[in-house]
Structure 1
Amino acid sequence: MRSLLTGLTATFLLALAAGAAYAQEDGLLPVEQAFRLDAKTAGAGKLALHWDIAPDYYLYRSRIKAKTSQAGLALGTLELPAGEKKQDEFLGEVEVYHHAIDATLPYTLADAAAKSITLSLTVQGCHETDPKICYPPHPTTVTLNLGADAATAGPATSAPANPLAGGNGGGLQLGGGNAGAVDTAPLPAEQAFVFEAIAQSPTAILARWTMPKNYYLYRDKSTVTLADGGGVTLGAPQWPAGVDHTDEHFGTVKVYFDQVELPIGLLRERGEAQTVKLHAEYQGCLENGICYPVMQKDVSVDLPAATADQLAAAKASFVAPPKSVAAEATPTATATPKQDDNALRSTPPAPGLGGILGALLLALLGGLVLNLMPCVLPVLSLKVLGLAQSGESSEKARKHALVYTAGVLVAFAAIGLAVVGLRAAGQALGWGFQLQQPVFVAVLVYILFAIGLSLSGVYNIGAGLAGVGQGLSNRGGAAGDFFTGVLAVVVASPCTAPFMGSALAYAFAASSFVALLVFLALGLGLALPFLLVGFVPALAARLPRPGAWMETLKQFLAFPMYLTAVWLAWVLGNQRGIDAIGWVLIGATVLALGLWWWERHRYQGHPMQRVIAVVVVLAALLPIAQIARIEAPAARAATSDTIPYSAERLASLRAEGRSVFVDVGADWCVTCKVNEKAVLDTDAFRDLLKRSNAVLMTADWTNVDPAITAFLQDYKAVGVPLYVVFRAGEAGPGRALPTVLTQAVVEQALAPH
């Protein structure tokens, strides 16, 4: 049956490549017949789109796209109805359409004299009964005569429909592109990807994939496990470097062309000759063509007899595979990562009342220490100014402190609720994860820059309330205090203070109610100094008295805000390149213009002047939209004395008997940068690596990276930095170090035992 299906598939592909309308005995239709498109104009500035969907077929809502390259033609947001909920094998929860779908597409045309418009409509869908196949994304070029009721459809620019693009209802074309149809029909899977394995030695196996020209294999979607081991355990596979390939759905991934050989070490209980069965699962594509579903193959490997010395040497150098592979291959218990006693960062307190109280106390202390971290200090300078201004009244000092505390607690509660919600949805995100989003970083640049402009006197927050009444004036002050509390929490996210790690780890693992309590305790710790100043008269009395000096101080405090905005712009540049820095600088300049214009016409001039100011401020959002479209640049090359993190390379280095120091950080992580300056970028640390025969492996979490996220989760880390040492000769997980490093800590961690 399998060979029959393969033959039918090949025949189907040949018919599509030739451009013939074709239907198999199985009832599969060419993509144009499975999803028939009708497009027409529906009045000025709007198109009506209709797809007839054949029985037993469906379209993905999220895979319906429209674009155009016509000069002067701008397409609006495609208006689609709600679809049916479906749990998809590849895409998770999706919405799909059966039978038919009607959609509308707004557009604007700069040239009023234009006779027609041309656009490309792309859809992707599947056949949901046997044979269950999914088509690759299928673009159709459509030309519409303006004023006419019907469309003249141009030739489709997509690759031919591909039964191999997915299986079991999956809707994901995994290949790198749809630049055009392939010249010949794709090969059957067993010819496109030939898998074999041999015994390289009594304690090592060599697996090999061989592909014809233009076919490639995904590294991260290929695994080898033991189907029948008989006392044999597979070690970590030693994948070669591979080639960076930009994939439409997965970004930049590692692939292999032509041939790839994969050495795998073995741990054997017995020395006599035996046969083991390997199970391989792998996936690959034809370049600019189709992608195959996950392929599977079992092969038998005859292992020669091993001597006692060979068995002992294999045991000494054995490195277990990553947890995700090992857990599927062997039902063995997972080892717990070792922790430095000073780390207090990952393992939550023991369950029970004592554990909860301990977590809340650690959270309170962590929030208190957070006040001293460099990322929070610029915003706290605003609070210092506010408390100094209220120095003549203890009542005002208490109000400042309470409203500021409310802002802090509300912000931490919002983060706690987000964590609870994301955890319920099956996702785990660490502290500071929002700074991985370039749009969030750009908005934060605007906010800090705007605060700096206000402190510099370019415009005044709340000044328009003057003369309306004392009550409104007070309300404006309270709003400022509340906003300062929220902002303090937002800019605190790049920092991980001592005691915070354990508290956050507990929160991420505890019940929703306890998690929320932990986040509120963090907020209370952050606000505690200002609560004490507001409610302890002796402390409040030590604050300087209000006076003319405060205007000078206010203007001086603008500069920490500008410097923080510059630092965030640098972070944005590392995330999205120099173009992103250019766009955020343009946006900040436009924002400054709008705020200046508003202040200039606040009290006099035509109301239209203030409307112009608002329009200019809103125009500052356009560069953020441009930043959102910029792709992440290629990964930066590692320096000569560091190695980029990968689970395979880590396993390989450990198998070679090397000690490995793994540094997981991010450009937006202030604690990481402090540790680099104080320890990791020093000659003393580099000398220590040489003396210890150790390798520095860096994992950059500035942008979202699933592999690094998995490593953080393995060590139950709640964010970055994370430092893990794997000492030569020690099997199992590494040892996590404190978040704040010293030379003495790393000396002890890398010292030979």
Structure 2
Amino acid sequence: MNLSSRFALLLAALAWLAPVRAAVDEADLLPIDEAFALSAQASERGRIEFRWKIADGYYLYRHRTSVQPADGAFTPAGELQLPPGHAYTDEFFGDVETYRGELLAVQAGTAADGATAVTFRVRYQGCADVGVCYPPHQQVLTVALPAGAAVATGPADIDAALARLGGISRVEPLPGTAPAVAGAPLPEAQAFRFEAIVTAPDRLLLRFTPAPGYYLYRDRNDIAVGAPGARAGEPLWPAATPFNDAHFGDVQVYFDQVEVPLPLLRSAAGEMPATVTATFQGCQTGGICYPPMTRTVALRLPPADPASLGVADVAPVAGAGTFLVTLLLALLGGVILNLFPCVLPVLSLKVLGLAQSGESRAQARRQALWYTAGVLVSFAALGALALALRQAGLALGWGFQLQQPGVVAALALVMVGLGLSLSGVVTFGVGLTAVGDALTRRSGAAGDFFTGVLAVVVATPCTAPFMGGALAWAFAAPPVLALPVFLAMGLGLALPFLLIGFVPALASRLPKPGAWMETFKQFLAFPLYLTAVWLLWVLAKQRGADAVGLALVGAVVLALALWAWERLRWHGWLAKLPVLALAAVVVWLVAGVQQLPPPVRADAAAGADDAEVAPGTARPWSAERLAALRAEGRVVFVNMTADWCVTCKANERTVLSGDAFAAALERAGAAYLKGDWTDVDPAITAFLESHGAVGVPLYVVYPRQGEPVVLPTVLTEATVVQALDAAAR
């Protein structure tokens, strides 16, 4: 037997061994009596057999199959005897057993003396492989009892027997439900139409249109607006029709077209693109019930009146009191930011500078003031730029500059350059000392100012406690109120060094200048190198290995330029032209990093479906997936993170990767969704804004019922476990 023959034989064997599961197109769904053809017979007076012929591409649930006598002529002996089913994880009921092809169930018991036929109520439920589940179905079957041999009864014989017993209907809907609709179910796109239009700068109109014979649930929906400066308010649903539904009991539904006004809460006045995403659910009257459907419509919001924008969109209380509280929160957040590891390398430089001032109180005050000036100017500039870009319609939040790969690469090279300076490869400012004492002080002031700028840039990956609420308030407030909030945050970051510079008792605690300072200076180069490595890791996540390669080439060229500068600094500007050429190469390499496309993320492809995952394992976040899970009544834990967010990574390492978190998820039956804001993502920005956040991390727990709960920025195991346990109740 040649190789091709063996391969063909292997394929044939695999095909024979594989379970048969025919694909069913949603447009070709069978009526329930054809998908699950039921018949019954009595093989003997005390044994009734119920047989379902299940069409290909359909399955029955074991736990939703039952039989009950309907006329008192038969007394069951125990439960209905069902064979073991196939284990299956179902999107509607979780871990279940199902039947395909055929099901034979047996009800043993005793028939009444003299009875010639018995009547049963048979209930069952099944689904099609396309993801459509039929509602619970009920049939009334009458089975003739044999005197000796078994007498089989098909549908025609059953109808005749029912007629003899007084005309009991063979197929009977469940109590309280509407009559069945004739015909095969429509595809969901035809059964339910969705439209959205802009009616005002701050209002949309949503229109849902069920086809005749279909209805839409009022309370099983989720509406989200994706826009950089707007979020969805509360939809204004009109009155609905009370209805007893086979799936959810007493509900409110719409049988006809319904129009729903949707207010928009805007924090940006400019014209902007937007998407409205609606997730909803509906059923065929007396027929199938569709799984949650998600539709997205792209819109463009017109400019809004700036006077109509209010801080009440984010802050529940307005007025001078709220403004002062926000300033205090911003100040405290800035102070706490000094304790975060992202700021440590730059603060080490500042400590060295203050120690170098020695006994000179005036020098210490100058350094503290110039450092504070650099911090305040940087906070104000970042805040003003972010507000301006959001007003222009861009989906940006706090830390937006680190979403740009070119900025990340440039920062990494800055860290390398500073590290080389501390390591002694180049000494900035030495050539200016001969010009005079005034220029020496000016050079020192510029260095202190630049240190403050650098502290702000590297601090934005961290979000300290109290910062989140203050930033959210500022991003929704008018600029005249927002800028003081950014300045208060900067003042908090600079406050420890202001105190050292102006409080003699604190300044006197600094170590005395000495030979140790050179060793300490060289040691400080290594935290800067590690910061550069971290930034290159972020760059790899954003733009892949090619970007890291360009950045590393840029680092080598930068080192060469600094080495050349150190040797040519005394030979005039002509000799320094090679240095300028090398600097141009560095700029060109950084620009090349910005142009690279993002890599394909493997986790997004692996998590594209809702396959079961191990407890504690996250699936990629999307508005559609979140809405579908909420429609199922699941507890959901959402983690909005970014690779450049130091606070995010610390929480994931210490809390969200632990056994306690995984156990709490499993206990609550919770789904874990993770959104990645490493790059600009308008959908995630809109989600952040909808929860009063303008940056990451953001942790939200959605309970089975009720409003979502936002967790603190810095997590503890106890906080997360308690929130998940409460959500599952």
Distance 1:471 1:274, change over 3 A: closer
Does residue 202 of structure 2 align to residue 226 of structure 1? no
Deviations for 1:185-215, whole angstroms, at most 9, x for unmatched residues? xxxxxxxxxxxxx9965799864459xxxxx
Looking at structure 2, the residues matched to 617 and 360 of structure 1 have their Cα atoms a distance apart, in angstroms, of 41
Q: CA deviation at 1:607?
A: 4.7
Match of 2:547 in 1: 580
The amino acid that maps onto 2:668 is S
Choose from 580, 585, 610 the match for 2:576: 610
Match of 1:624 in 2: 590
Does residue 430 of structure 2 align to residue 463 of structure 1? yes
Match of 1:61 in 2: none
Match of 1:734 in 2: 708
Does residue 676 of structure 2 align to residue 697 of structure 1? no
The DSSP-based 3-state class of the residue aligned with 1:457 is coil
Deviations for 1:384-434, whole angstroms, at most 9, x for unmatched residues? 000000122000000000010011111011122213323432445211111
Q: CA deviation at 1:528?
A: 0.4
Deviations for 1:439-473, whole angstroms, at most 9, x for unmatched residues? 11111111111111111111111111021111111
Comparing 711-720 with 647-656, greater Cα deviation is found at 647-656
Does residue 534 of structure 2 align to residue 567 of structure 1? yes
The amino acid that maps onto 1:650 is L
The amino acid that maps onto 2:718 is A
Q: CA deviation at 1:580?
A: 0.6
The DSSP-based 3-state class of the residue aligned with 2:636 is strand
Choose from 246, 263, 270 the match for 2:243: 270
The amino acid that maps onto 2:631 is A
Looking at structure 2, the residues matched to 676 and 392 of structure 1 have their Cα atoms a distance apart, in angstroms, of 45
Deviations for 1:1-53, whole angstroms, at most 9, x for unmatched residues? xxxxxxxxxxxxxxxxxxxxxxxxxxxxxxxxxxxxxxxxxxxxxxxxxxxxx
Does residue 681 of structure 2 align to residue 709 of structure 1? no
Looking at structure 1, the residues matched to 373 and 703 of structure 2 have their Cα atoms a distance apart, in angstroms, of 47
Q: CA deviation at 1:523?
A: 0.7
Query: Is the CA contact (8 Å cut-off) linking 2:218 and 2:254 kept in structure 1?
Result: no
Looking at structure 1, the residues matched to 189 and 387 of structure 2 have their Cα atoms a distance apart, in angstroms, of 43
Looking at structure 1, the residues matched to 627 and 483 of structure 2 have their Cα atoms a distance apart, in angstroms, of 38
Does residue 525 of structure 2 align to residue 545 of structure 1? no
Query: Which runs of 5 or more structure 2 residues have no equivalent in the other structure?
Result: 1-131, 136-176, 191-204, 224-238, 246-252, 260-274, 276-281, 302-312, 608-612
Match of 1:304 in 2: 285
Looking at structure 1, the residues matched to 335 and 295 of structure 2 have their Cα atoms a distance apart, in angstroms, of 38
The amino acid that maps onto 2:496 is P
Matches within 5 A, 1:432-471: 432-471=399-438
TM-score by length of 1: 0.58
The DSSP-based 3-state class of the residue aligned with 1:664 is strand
The DSSP-based 3-state class of the residue aligned with 2:589 is helix
The DSSP-based 3-state class of the residue aligned with 2:426 is coil
Looking at structure 1, the residues matched to 646 and 634 of structure 2 have their Cα atoms a distance apart, in angstroms, of 30
Q: CA deviation at 1:657?
A: 2.9
Looking at structure 2, the residues matched to 324 and 509 of structure 1 have their Cα atoms a distance apart, in angstroms, of 25
Match of 1:746 in 2: 720
Matches within 5 A, 1:176-215: 207-208=187-188
Q: CA deviation at 1:318?
A: 11
Matches within 5 A, 1:338-487: 348=315, 350-427=317-394, 429-487=396-454
Looking at structure 2, the residues matched to 323 and 363 of structure 1 have their Cα atoms a distance apart, in angstroms, of 37
Looking at structure 2, the residues matched to 554 and 463 of structure 1 have their Cα atoms a distance apart, in angstroms, of 16
Comparing 565-574 with 683-692, greater Cα deviation is found at 683-692
Looking at structure 1, the residues matched to 283 and 442 of structure 2 have their Cα atoms a distance apart, in angstroms, of 81
Looking at structure 1, the residues matched to 407 and 456 of structure 2 have their Cα atoms a distance apart, in angstroms, of 14
Match of 2:31 in 1: none
The amino acid that maps onto 1:624 is V
The DSSP-based 3-state class of the residue aligned with 2:569 is coil
Looking at structure 2, the residues matched to 486 and 412 of structure 1 have their Cα atoms a distance apart, in angstroms, of 8
Name the Cα RMSD after superposition: 3.8
Match of 2:698 in 1: 722
Distance 1:621 1:305, change over 3 A: same
Looking at structure 1, the residues matched to 318 and 294 of structure 2 have their Cα atoms a distance apart, in angstroms, of 31
Q: CA deviation at 1:745?
A: 0.4
Distance 1:717 1:607, change over 3 A: closer
Query: Is the CA contact (8 Å cut-off) linking 1:349 and 1:356 kept in structure 2?
Result: no
Distance 1:703 1:547, change over 3 A: same
Aligned positions, number: 474
Looking at structure 2, the residues matched to 743 and 523 of structure 1 have their Cα atoms a distance apart, in angstroms, of 31
Q: CA deviation at 1:682?
A: 1.3
Match of 2:634 in 1: 658
The amino acid that maps onto 1:526 is L
Query: Is the CA contact (8 Å cut-off) linking 1:235 and 1:320 kept in structure 2?
Result: no
Distance 1:398 1:414, change over 3 A: same
The amino acid that maps onto 1:738 is P
Query: Is the CA contact (8 Å cut-off) linking 1:237 and 1:321 kept in structure 2?
Result: no
The amino acid that maps onto 1:539 is L
Match of 2:24 in 1: none
The amino acid that maps onto 1:388 is A
What is the identity percentage for the equivalent residue pairs of Structure 1 and Structure 2?
Answer: 54
Query: Which runs of 5 or more structure 1 residues have no equivalent in the other structure?
Result: 1-197, 211-222, 239-265, 280-293, 295-300, 329-345
Q: CA deviation at 1:236?
A: 4.2
Choose from 632, 640, 646 the match for 2:622: 646
Looking at structure 2, the residues matched to 746 and 661 of structure 1 have their Cα atoms a distance apart, in angstroms, of 9
Distance 1:353 1:319, change over 3 A: farther
Match of 1:164 in 2: none
Query: Is the CA contact (8 Å cut-off) linking 1:661 and 1:697 kept in structure 2?
Result: yes
Q: CA deviation at 1:493?
A: 0.7
Match of 2:99 in 1: none
Distance 1:318 1:633, change over 3 A: closer
Q: CA deviation at 1:699?
A: 0.5
TM-score by length of 2: 0.60
Looking at structure 2, the residues matched to 397 and 745 of structure 1 have their Cα atoms a distance apart, in angstroms, of 42
Distance 1:319 1:268, change over 3 A: farther
Query: Is the CA contact (8 Å cut-off) linking 2:396 and 2:680 kept in structure 1?
Result: no
Deviations for 1:238-257, whole angstroms, at most 9, x for unmatched residues? 9xxxxxxxxxxxxxxxxxxx
Comparing 583-592 with 505-514, greater Cα deviation is found at 505-514
The amino acid that maps onto 1:563 is L
Distance 1:322 1:662, change over 3 A: farther
Distance 1:488 1:349, change over 3 A: farther
Deviations for 1:663-691, whole angstroms, at most 9, x for unmatched residues? 10000000000001110011221122112
Q: CA deviation at 1:609?
A: 3.0
Looking at structure 2, the residues matched to 459 and 698 of structure 1 have their Cα atoms a distance apart, in angstroms, of 44
The DSSP-based 3-state class of the residue aligned with 1:622 is helix
Query: Is the CA contact (8 Å cut-off) linking 2:215 and 2:285 kept in structure 1?
Result: no
Deviations for 1:52-81, whole angstroms, at most 9, x for unmatched residues? xxxxxxxxxxxxxxxxxxxxxxxxxxxxxx
Does residue 599 of structure 2 align to residue 633 of structure 1? yes
The amino acid that maps onto 1:478 is A
Does residue 677 of structure 2 align to residue 669 of structure 1? no
Looking at structure 2, the residues matched to 322 and 560 of structure 1 have their Cα atoms a distance apart, in angstroms, of 49
Query: Is the CA contact (8 Å cut-off) linking 1:437 and 1:703 kept in structure 2?
Result: yes
Distance 1:515 1:275, change over 3 A: closer
Looking at structure 2, the residues matched to 702 and 428 of structure 1 have their Cα atoms a distance apart, in angstroms, of 13
Looking at structure 2, the residues matched to 679 and 481 of structure 1 have their Cα atoms a distance apart, in angstroms, of 37
Looking at structure 2, the residues matched to 700 and 714 of structure 1 have their Cα atoms a distance apart, in angstroms, of 17
The DSSP-based 3-state class of the residue aligned with 2:463 is coil
Match of 1:688 in 2: 664
